[in-house]
Amino acid sequence: MGNLGDWIGVFLIIAVLFGGGGFFGGGDDYRYAIDNATTQNGIRDILLASNNNNYETAQLISAQTRDYMQSNYTNQINVVQGFNAIQQSLAAISTQLGTCCCDIKSTLLQDKYDAALRELAKAETKSAVADGNAYMLSVMGKWVANPSAT
């Protein structure tokens, strides 16, 4: 039996050294290799998904930024157009005020001119009447002084 016990001991040592989980490899090495490949594939899938999410996030941010910039640009165009409209209105008002002031000045000058002409006409009329009266008085004075001369 001693001989059989030795063989069992040797068999156990060989089983431990070369068997499952032993020093020189065993069935678990393949399982660990498969688990390692599965883990690497899982990590790769996570990284690809992360990259895809990052890409989609970047596209979303880019689209939102573009939309924001377009909206901002549109608002600035509207503001500038509003300012231009106000400036055109102010220019039109300035032109109207200039025309109005010029018209008022012309009207006032014309009224003063017309009033001066009326006063001149009155003065001429008074002068003519005075001249006529003086002539009449001189004629009358001559007649009074020398009634037979007429």
Q: Taking phi first (over 0 means left), then psi (-120 to 50 degrees means alpha), and beta for anything else, what does residue 21 get?
A: left
User: Which DSSP symbol is given to 127?
Assistant: H
Tokens linked to 150 = 């007429």
- In the prediction, which pLDDT does 74 show? 92
Tokens linked to 122 = 């009155």
Q: Is the dihedral of CA 139, 142, 147, 150 positive or negative?
A: negative
- In the prediction, which pLDDT does 1 show? 46
| 20 and 28 Cβ atoms separated by less than 8 Å | yes
Q: What is the C-alpha to C-alpha distance for residues 139 and 130, in angstroms, rounded to an integer?
A: 14
By C-alpha distance, which of 22, 42, 23 is closest to 34?
Answer: 42
Question: Average pLDDT per run of 10 along the chain, which is 150 residues long?
Answer: 64 64 52 68 78 81 89 91 92 85 84 91 88 82 68
Q: What is the C-alpha to C-alpha distance for residues 127 and 134, in angstroms, rounded to an integer?
A: 10
- In the prediction, which pLDDT does 85 show? 93
- In the prediction, which pLDDT does 42 show? 76
Residue spans per domain, the chain? 2-149
